[in-house]
Each structure stands twice: as C-alpha cells, then as structure tokens.
Structure 1
C-alpha cells in the first residue's frame, strides 16, 4: 500500500508516512521509498569534491561524509548510532569511474541508461553497523595495495589493503600503506579480534572537511593526512601515522562496538586517540610519543577543562546541531588522558584484558560508558566504575595542594599533607564549584627513587602520605611523575625554589615529562593567581639550556600564550618577552644550523624546526635573512636549499619582509606556487597559512574579502580557514589583526554561514579563531550585542554556544592575569 501523506519536520529532521490502513505494532514491514537528491558542495552527505589534475584542469569526484547526522542527506534512514542495520548497496556510474563502498564489489555489469553505456556495481552486504559509517566514493582513481595476514589471533584471515588517490598520486601513498598494514596487525592482536571485513581501503580526498573519517572498510582522509613525498615534513610524517592509527583503531572501537548515543562519543574518540598513540609508540619507540602526548593532547585538554565553560566527557546531547560542538579537546584529549591514567594504574595486561572482554561481549552492539568500566572492574577486581565516575560525569579536574611537609630523620621518611580542589584557570574558585571529589592516583619520585614512582591514592578532600626520604645534598621529592595523573600540583614556595634550582643546575635529574609538566603547571597556577609570573619566568630562565625538543615545545607554547595576551601592552614589555624567547632559542640556532641530514633522527629534525621557527617569530634578524635567502634559491629552482621542515616559516619570513613597493610581487610569488598543479595539497595549506604574514592592508583585505570566497582560487573548500589561522599565527601586527578579524566576521556572516554545513563544527572553529585573544574591554559587549541583535543570527549561533563561551572566558581570564601581573612582568623582562 502507498502512503497517503508524507510529512517533513525540518527542525527534527524527520519524515513521517501515513497510511490509510493501520499497521499493528510489532509487525514485520518492508518500506520502499523512492527519492532523489543532488550532490551538494558543502562537504557533507553525499557531496561533490573538486580538484585540479596535473594539467590544471578541474575535475570532480563524489564522496560521502555522514558523521554525525548526514546519512539522511543521502537516503532516508533511521540515522542514529544505536539503530544498526546491514546495508546492501549498488551504484550506477560511468564506465571509466571507480566505485567504492564499505565492502568488496561482487559484480559490475554494463547497462544502458538514457542511451548511455554505464556500469552497475553491486557490493557485498555489510555487517550490522550504524548509518554514520556507510560510505561511497566515485571518481577517477588510482591505487596501490598490499595483503595483510595477521598472525594473531589465530582465526585471522588474509585481506587486501589499498590506498586510493586521484590519478597520478598513488605512489605518494606508499608510506601510508606500509603503516596501515602494520597497524591492522597490531590491533588484531591487541583486541584479540580479527579485522571483520574482507578488504580495507584508505582514500585520499582532495576536499574534505574532517581530517579523516573511520567509515568501515572505506576510510577517508584529507590528502595532507595520508600522502607523503619528498616535500613532506617530519611533522607531516608523524601526523599521518597518528591519523591512520586513530582511524584503524575505530575499525574495532567504534565500528564493531559503537556508543549508544552521542553523549558517549568519547567511547569512540578517546579510545581511538589513546590506542592510536599506543600503536604509534609500538611502531616508532624512538619518537617518544608519550612525552609528546603530554605537550599536545594532555596540555590541550587541561587548558580547555580549566574553564568554567567546559563540559563533562559524558555530555548531554539533545539535537543534531549540538553534536558538532562535542568533537573537541574534552572528548578526544581529556578522554584519552583519563584512559592513559587508568592504563598506568592498571598496567598493560589488565587494561588489555578489560578491552578484549568488552569487545567480545558487545560485538555488533551498542554500549554506554558504564559497560566499559564494568569490564575493567572484572579484569582488575577493583570498582573502576566508582573510581572513574567523577572523571567522565563532572566538569574539570583537580588541583593537588601540598599543605605541609615534615621530615623525620629517625625513620628517614617524609610526611606530606595533600588536599584536592577543583582547578580553574581564572581563579576565584567558589564553594559551590568545589563539591567534587576525584579519585586521584598520586605518584611520588625522590632522589632515592628517581624513576620508580611510589604510588598512593587520594580519594578524600585531604590526606597524609609518607614515603622514604633523606635530607642529604641534592635531595628532592616531586609529585605526579611524568604526568601520569590528571591534576595540577601546587607546592610551598621553598619547594618551588628547590625544584627550580635543581632544574637550573642539574636539569636531567627530572625526566623530560616532569620538566615539561613543571612548566605547564607553573604557568597555569600563575593564570589562576596562585603563583606570580616572576616565579614562572624564573623557571623558564632556569631551563635556558634545555636540550630536549619536546620540553622546548612546551616552553615555546607558554611563552606564545604570554606574547599573544600582551599584544596591546607597551612595546618595551613585548620586546622583553621576545628577548626571553631569543635567549632560549637563538643561541641554539648556531648549534643546530639550517640543514637537515638525510637520515636524521625524527626528534632532532623536529627540534631544529622549532628552534628556527621560534627564533624567527621572536625577531632574530639573522634567522629571517637566512630564511629569505633560502626561499629565493628555492623559488629559483634549487629545491634542496629549503628543507620541507622549515618551508612554513620561510614562506612567512619572505612575506613579512616585504616592503610596500615589493608586497604585490612578493605575494604573487606565493600565489603562483599555490596555483602550480605540481604543488602537493599539504604544501598548498602551508602557503595559504603563510599569507597571514603579509602586512600590507590592501592585500590582507583582498585575502579576506575576495580570495577565500573565490571557488576558482581556493583549490579546496577545507582550506578556507588556513589564511585566518595564518593571520593569528604569523602576522606581527596583532593589535590591528584581531579587531580586523572580528569586523570581517560580522560583515561577512551571511555568506560564511551559507557556505558551511550546519552542525559540522566548522562554524564553531571560525568563531573561535575570530573571537579568541581580543582583549578590548568592550569586546564581549560587542559580541553579545551582535548575537542578540538579530533573531535569525541568534538561532544560527546556538550551534556554537560552547565555542563562543570558551573564547570569551579565555579572553577574560587572560585580561585578568595581565591586569594582576602587568607591573611584575614589565619589571622582570626589563632586566633580561
């Protein structure tokens, strides 16, 4: 029977069919729906992606991106993660095109459609899966392949792994293919569960809003996240490894076992992040990824979660438009950090046993967070559900304060009283904000046990711990070894001075992870008003001779935060901050040089890149001159003169050195490089970001008002943000750039909003870029007036409420500590 009426609800994104005859509840019913649609250009649903081939001719492919709720853009469906189904798909395409889906092709038959010969491609029926994982790709594609035959578990099977690219780029997928085959073997053994499909395709997409997407058996990536060639940097090499490991982990954690609803998104994303890093550490132990994890994931999570506007990991989601906002550092990075904390507490074997039993019980099903904790409880015989409750259901994390210490020479022990409270980067913690008690695994290292931490558990508001100690020369003790726990530590002043002195005179006493977290903690305590900026800066100065590149990265990040917050402070203060940065980094440039050895250690290359970049941004004229010289040789055809690792900073150095007379011609040099068909996608992103270094107002205006809105100029819509990021990162006149970005956003809001998919998260990213860092005391009132000044705009901006709140709170926090520390900062930097 046919439906008598069809009703659409655009707000709920549903369609209702009404029939003349009642259909009894519980009946088995087959519904046939005829529908058609158009491939959109919004990077969501079943969309059209544009690219230029190696001759410069514009071509297209069509591809899907369904997460979170865009399967319904392609076909009517019960588009919720818990409503799993099997999918039998077929595609009718032009004969010369490649058609791909989640499963292997089982037939391809020539057919005639409107007098044109095409082919009808049919795919195997999928396993039971969620709609957001369904995927299709159609285009002119090449591929390379290998075969995986995982030795474990014993019931594993052989299957092909392929990397697909647009024509002419397949060879650049070799690194990714090698990684993918090894990572698939790693996860098959780790989960004790074979890969569940009979093929695994990874495809490089020219225009892709997400970085990557774990579609089952057909994983999609931005080209820059999977293709690697001689023009790629070491940073790109690591990002590709991280991204591939993350998405392949999802083939088990997320695809076989899926969260019940989006509030438990962290079950998918936090696990794929943590276990992805575990896989990369297995592949490349020399990369020291867990120290890098602290500088990146862990630090990002703690910075965001110290805001009042943060949210729990397990967060309520009420509408499709709210989902995009929770794909953030809380879901990914805080989630991964609490899993790392639990992993360190339980140990690898118990953790792995819990994961394996969880997958076996819930294979092909949906779960909630408590299901996972239950399996860790069974594996460890500890009530993990109770221990982890506050970590996932509450906002924030604790500050552990050392209230007192007492050394007993007779028993050779140190007794320390600890307390816990919520940490807020803005300070002024109110009583009603401090009602949560966290389960905190406390680790202690001393001069007696520098690398074998003693373990304690803090579960109450305060507690006393005792550990072996002696007060001989060089004695010390420190909490939170290698940041294995998620908390800040506040020591008494005399303990801070002792640690700073040891860092200055015997820096390797502490592990790189410990030195890194000291910098992070001290800076955060300063913003909260719990330490002075001079204490923080003295610690930075104590690390002047730091040689570990990952620790230097953390120092760089914190100095950048101060520099960015002080963009409108007097020039003498800003110059003083630059002088401190130069004191740490410029002296190292002569030591490391500008040339990269062919087989140089990965971390050495990353450190050299950091040192050169920071010396340039702090105003080292010799470094700027050398970078410009190398760029000119590079652009003249000597590609070896400018290593890929330092091309981003060299492009920016070249543009920032432009004079009013040379600005147009210099800018055109970069545009020509961008438009060159042989310039790889990752290089195009770098070039667009370097546009932000230009200081000529007319060119900046052309970039913002014309170029990034021009589809004939912008090779990929995904790159819309790159020049905006560049203006915030590279432009030396932030006093002008920050209000300019706000004015640009408000003036162009309607066409910006029309160009992006609602709920995709891109609007939130844009607002964060344009709102964060503006210290004008009237700015927040301007923002609120703009939001509330138009009912339609007010409704549009609801999908980015969290992003707006975070940006404005971050501005308030920075303004507050600057007001408090302004004189101290000015006095201290004047003595550099």
Structure 2
C-alpha cells in the first residue's frame, strides 16, 4: 500500500467540543486489504472510488477494516464524527474556559484519534487540510492559509498542501490567537498563542532565527517550508513537538518576561533549537519505524546543544549537556531493566515506553562520542549527505552510519552498531604507574553484577604531552602514556572509569592540568562507583571532599546534586547532613550576593545551592523564607528556593496557595507547585490533590507536585496510599506517553525504603503495560539503594 494524499475537512462545532469529518485518501494498492487506524471515532460511511463498502472495527488493534481485496489507484472516502478529547493526546481541549483552544498531539499514535489514517511513520503523504470553525476563531496548520470562506457563523480555512510527511507530524490548532511575525530570509517565523497568554516575543523568535541560520549552514540544506509557527499551548503533555512548520510548546517554554529565570531562558533556547533540528532530522527525513525513534531524538538533542554553544558560548551548554543528558542516561543504562538504543518496537503503542533517557540522552552522548572519534567536519559532511540522499523519504540508522563512514573513511558502522544494539555500557578499570597503564573493561551495573560483554570503546587518555586516542575493543589492553593523568578527556566517551588508589592520588595532584569537564567526570564516576558498591560511602566522602573548594559551575552542581541524593537515601545520617550543610554554606558564602551583570551560571548555582540547603537547614530556611511575601519581585533564580524554604519552615499551605492563585505565568506557578510538595500532613496533601482534580493545577503540571511530594520522608506513606489514584490520573492525562512509568521509576525506591511491605501490596494493583517498565526499574533501584544503605550503616 502506498498513500499519496489525504484531503481532510473538519467542521468543528461552536463549543469546540465535537466535529464532523470528511476525508479522501488517495492510495495505490496491490491485491490487498485496506486497513486504517482509528480510535474513538464514529465512522458513518466509507466508499471506495464512489462505491459504498462495508467495514468493521477492531478496537483492540485500533484498526478499521474495509471489506474486500483491492488493487490499483483508489480514492477512499470516509465520513465520520468525533469528540474533541480531554486527554492530552490526539485532537484535544488544550485551553481554559478563559482561553479556549483546540490543539493536536499526534506523536506517536495520536493521529488515529482524530481521523482514520494509516498511522505509521513509513507511510508518508501530502496533506490537504481545511477547518470550518466558529467565525471568531482562527486556525493554524503546518502550511500557510490558502483561502478563507465565510459560512454563516462559521468560516472555512483551507491550507496549502504540505510536503510528503508522516501522520504524526500533522498539526491543527484553533483559538483566538495573538500572533507575532518576523520575516527571516525567505520564510516567516511566527510566535502564536491564545490571546492574553504570550509574553515578550523577541527572545523566542531570536532563538528560532539563530537555529535556522545554524542548521541551514551546517546541513547545507534550506528550511523546506514558507513559514514556521512557534505555538504556545496552555495544556500540553509533551514539552514540545516538532510538527513540521507548526511547532508546539508548553507555555513556560515560550513565555519570556521579567520573571524568567536564567535556567529557564536557556531551556527555552535549547528546546526551540531541539524542535527546529527536527524540521530536518525527523521531518524532512523520517525514521522508517519507531525502533529508530532514538535517531530523531538523540540527534535533535545533540544538535540543540551545538547551536546553543555556538550562539551562546558564555552559557557553557556542553556542561549542561553532561549534567542533564549524559548523567541521567548513564544512570538509566546501568540498570538491568534498561533497553538498547535501537529498541525492539513491534506495536507503535509501545513507543511511549522508549521516550526516555536512553533514546534522548544516551543516543546524544553516543553521537558526541562518534563526532569526537571521526572529527567534527567529517561528522558534519556525513549528516549532510544522509539528509540529501533521503529528503522527503524514510531512512534507517544504518543509512546514517554509512553516510558518516563514507565521508570520514573511518570504521563507523561496526562501532555504532555495537553501541546502539547493546544495552548498557562498560566501566574501565585503570591501574599501573609511570608510563604504562592497564585498561580492563567490563559491563557497569549499579546492582554490582556484570557480564563478559565487550564494547569497541573510543578511549582517550591525557598524559603530560597531551591527548592520545585508541579503540579499546578487547577485554584488556596495556597502553603507553607518557605521564598519564586521566582517562576520557573532556568526558566525550560514554563509559565509567574506576581508578586504582595510586592513580586517583595522581589525578588529585594534577587537577590544575585537567578541564572542568574532566573534574566533573571524576566526581560523576566516583558517585556511580559508590552507588554500585565498588567503593564505600566513607571513601566517597573522603575523595569528594577534596573537591569542596571547587568553583566551576558544572562540578559544584554535580557535587551538590550527589549530596542531595545521598541525604534523601540516608535520611537519618547526621554526619552526612552536617558535611552537606557545610559544603552548601561554604559555596553560598563564596558566591555571595547577586551582582549586576554577573555570570548566569553563578546566579543559577546560587539558587540551586540555596534550595538544597533550605531542605536540610531549618534555620537557613526560616531566614530566606522571610522574602516569600514578595515572591514575584524576587530574583527569578532564587525565588524557587525561597518558596521551598517557606514550605519547609512554616508548613503553611494556605500561604502558598494564596501566592499560587495570585501569581501569573507558568514558571512561577511551577515553582510554587514544587514547594507544595514539601508541605506535610495528610489534610494538606489532600487539599493539593483537590487542586489537581479541580483543574486549578493544570493537568500537565500534576506530575510536578507528585515528583516533589515523594521526597520528604513524612509524605511517602501518603503517596503510597494514593499511588493507585495517582497512576490512574497520570495514565488518563498522559495517554500515549511514558510519564506514568517514569514517575514510578523515581517514586518506588523512595516509598520502598520506608514501607517495603506496603509497596509490595500495592504494586500488583497498578501493574499494566503503561507502568510495567517503570515498576521494574524502580524495584531494581530500590534493591540497589537498600544494599547501599545496608553496606554503609554507621
């Protein structure tokens, strides 16, 4: 079967709650059945080349089956009716009573919830879309408007045909929009959102311009469409979505104003760059099947950081990459319940389970490793070749490796195939002295088990004369390095390192000779080896304390985060608490008060450290919580810490709720929702659950509260008692995503450390396809943490 075109005409009622649809699908078939995907759509009639045909629905398989065998060129016409959904998938109610909006989210299988189609990324087609809407509303789709036609109290908006693309990239939005437009070269960049919801337009549009300029130069291929919308969506399950020419974002990722923190501003730039990378890598060239989803997401993640580093070098985006992408990926991939980058996806409904740190962070980190292996220019030429050869079509991961291999004349395929087909990664144990070191690799797992799996590892080593590179493709190897200092230079490799005692001491004496990324890597590996039991907590604290006077953002942030995790695990270890408080206090003293024009990393770090200290030190929390009454006028980099401090020092839910109701803007509201999670007491927590149920806390933001509320020891019993209700709510809101599973992965270890027996009773009641993976990973983490606690008892 080959799909040529979809002509989709929807007539939406005046309440934006239901619609009637008429579509014509042109296709070519060769003696086969016609099967369309359809979910919760009331199909009225189907005809083929003008002749009515019988059809039946298989709800379990989400398939609409036409009776008979067909051949030749066909025009399949479908008349149907459907409701605008309440969940955040398909075509759904995305606004509020004040700002009504319909929006769509079709990745991965949401298109079938809006119109019958062959909902498969390998079946590209040209889309002709027309929307008949109440006259006071406007409509946005992938392409510019071609014509409008008044029809009583309604008007029909018809859009120009799209390029050939997959169903999951189609977009349809209806609202009373505010739109800001700017011409960029021969295209138009438009910021849009429901009236009254947008902030200052200059920064998001500037980020988009920077990204388009960079990608056109990097790929050597012009942006394909005449316009690009950046659309702010009030209720949105995903963070953002790369619909070709009509990119959607959560409000917080486009809303820029005086309350936008430095970290959020960077996040806005990075997410815009990520989604625009998809306009080439994912939209222009699309994976053939969902097993290569990682190729889209990893590449867009990697390229976004390249853009931001190029245009904003002062932000140290590669440091953020290591903190946000590589660290999480290495954590997830050190579990037995991980999965290969190239995951086995038989059913497209299973794809939600692989929208995770492996598909994004690990894949992006492997691309960074391969770029370092073949060289930046060879890597760029390979990407450009891949895009040119497969434009407007579909491709596999192997097509990309082939293109890079041809351009670099380096053995890329054998290395990449090993890294994407295999789950996990190695730890390299380093020993020796003088000029000869011994390298031994084995699989790294946090639970202490290992395998005899061998990876082809592009290893870099730093000596007194600079960097050397080797491919470690055996279990062990001896290497000559004149004046060896450190393995994995600038942390470009995706592997752990465990140094012998003498080599670790040697590193400490050479800290001035290694980069901040290297120092970050040493700390990161140290913590991982502690969690896995390779070294004791006492040795960890002894070694990490040698870095307590560190001043680089990325290193300080990593130490602060590690101490935060340890205090969550060892909630009654006063020695650990005192060590942590001393580190946090000394760092805050070093950072001092905010200065005009200071480095953004200093400002972010001050807020982060303040947050950690407020949770541990009630006197400090009381001190800074005095500023809570002017929350909206505080430095946005510190206001989140002040909200948390107010919560832990007062337990005053009414005060936080009052501020939540009076404040505007998603970013401030999210800070207050996180602070609500620090409130204790069943009656208080019940009230917050009521805010979620009533919609006062947005559906999309409910998970922010649940993630925060699981951390305080006192709240874990409440979360356990509410876990079935929480899971059902998340499944309903975030249908077709991996959010529920991800939440359980983080919640289960914390619940289990307080009430393992109660957890064991509840888990069977919430096990289902949407939760199974998270439950397995969470249970594995619980065992790892418990083993660590037992091993390091005082």
Correspondence for 1:358 among 377, 386, 389: 386
Partners of 1:745 and 1:770 within 8 A in 2: no
Give the whole-Å Cα distance in 2 for the aligned partners of 1:783 and 1:579.
31
Matches within 5 A, 1:307-326: 307-326=335-354
Determine if the alignment matches structure 1 residue 336 to structure 2 residue 364: yes
Give the whole-Å Cα distance in 1 for the aligned partners of 2:84 and 2:725.
29
Determine if the alignment matches structure 1 residue 203 to structure 2 residue 231: yes
1:819 matched residue in structure 2:
790
Structure 1: which 5+ residue stretches go unaligned?
A: 53-57, 150-157, 408-413, 470-475, 824-832
Q: Secondary structure at the match of 1:657?
A: helix
Give the whole-Å Cα distance in 1 for the aligned partners of 2:320 and 2:291.
28
Q: How far off is 1:587 after superposition?
A: 1.9
**Higher relative contact order, chain-length normalized (CA < 8 Å, sep 6+):** 1
1:605 matched residue in structure 2:
603
Give the whole-Å Cα distance in 1 for the aligned partners of 2:547 and 2:160.
59
1:460 matched residue in structure 2:
474
Give the whole-Å Cα distance in 2 for the aligned partners of 1:495 and 1:591.
30
Q: Secondary structure at the match of 1:146?
A: strand
Partners of 1:523 and 1:536 within 8 A in 2: yes
Q: Secondary structure at the match of 1:468?
A: coil
Q: How far off is 1:778 after superposition?
A: 6.6
Partners of 2:751 and 2:759 within 8 A in 1: no
What are the superposed Cα offsets for residues 179-207 of structure 1, whole Å, 9 maximum, x if unpaired?
A: 10111111111110000000000011111
Determine if the alignment matches structure 1 residue 490 to structure 2 residue 490: no
Partners of 1:144 and 1:171 within 8 A in 2: no
What are the superposed Cα offsets for residues 485-507 of structure 1, whole Å, 9 maximum, x if unpaired?
A: 1111112122223334x2xxx74
Correspondence for 1:720 among 699, 702, 709: 702
Partners of 2:618 and 2:649 within 8 A in 1: no
Aligned residues: 745
Give the whole-Å Cα distance in 2 for the aligned partners of 1:760 and 1:336.
20
2:299 matched residue in structure 1:
271
Give the whole-Å Cα distance in 2 for the aligned partners of 1:86 and 1:625.
60
Q: How far off is 1:175 after superposition?
A: 0.8
Change in CA separation of 1:804 and 1:313 when aligned onto 2, cut-off 3 Å: same
Q: How far off is 1:667 after superposition?
A: 2.4
Give the whole-Å Cα distance in 1 for the aligned partners of 2:350 and 2:219.
32
Give the whole-Å Cα distance in 2 for the aligned partners of 1:31 and 1:89.
16
Structure 2: which 5+ residue stretches go unaligned?
A: 1-49
TM-score (norm 1): 0.87
Partners of 1:274 and 1:340 within 8 A in 2: yes
Q: Secondary structure at the match of 1:11?
A: coil
What are the superposed Cα offsets for residues 538-591 of structure 1, whole Å, 9 maximum, x if unpaired?
A: 122111211112111110121122111113xxx3x2x22221112212023234
Correspondence for 1:701 among 686, 693, 716: 686
Please provide the CA RMSD for this pair: 1.9
Give the whole-Å Cα distance in 1 for the aligned partners of 2:89 and 2:666.
20
Partners of 1:98 and 1:139 within 8 A in 2: yes
Partners of 2:727 and 2:740 within 8 A in 1: no
Matches within 5 A, 1:367-766: 367-402=395-430, 404-407=431-434, 414-429=435-450, 433-434=451-452, 436-446=453-463, 448-449=464-465, 452-469=466-483, 477-500=485-508, 502=509, 507-567=511-571, 571=572, 573=573, 575-597=574-596, 599-619=597-617, 621=619, 623-632=620-629, 634=630, 640=633, 642-658=634-650, 666-676=652-662, 679-704=664-689, 706-711=690-695, 713-714=696-697, 716-729=698-711, 731=712, 734=713, 736-746=714-724, 750=728, 753=731, 755-766=732-743
Determine if the alignment matches structure 1 residue 63 to structure 2 residue 103: yes
Change in CA separation of 1:749 and 1:335 when aligned onto 2, cut-off 3 Å: closer
1:163 matched residue in structure 2:
191
Give the whole-Å Cα distance in 1 for the aligned partners of 2:647 and 2:126.
54
What are the superposed Cα offsets for residues 723-766 of structure 1, whole Å, 9 maximum, x if unpaired?
A: 2122135x4xx1x322321211135655554x335432232234
Give the whole-Å Cα distance in 1 for the aligned partners of 2:65 and 2:763.
34
Give the whole-Å Cα distance in 2 for the aligned partners of 1:778 and 1:606.
35
Q: How far off is 1:231 after superposition?
A: 0.6
Give the whole-Å Cα distance in 2 for the aligned partners of 1:512 and 1:480.
13
TM-score (norm 2): 0.91
Whose strand proportion is higher, 1 or 2? 2
Determine if the alignment matches structure 1 residue 36 to structure 2 residue 66: no
Change in CA separation of 1:751 and 1:765 when aligned onto 2, cut-off 3 Å: same
1:347 matched residue in structure 2:
375
Partners of 2:128 and 2:161 within 8 A in 1: yes
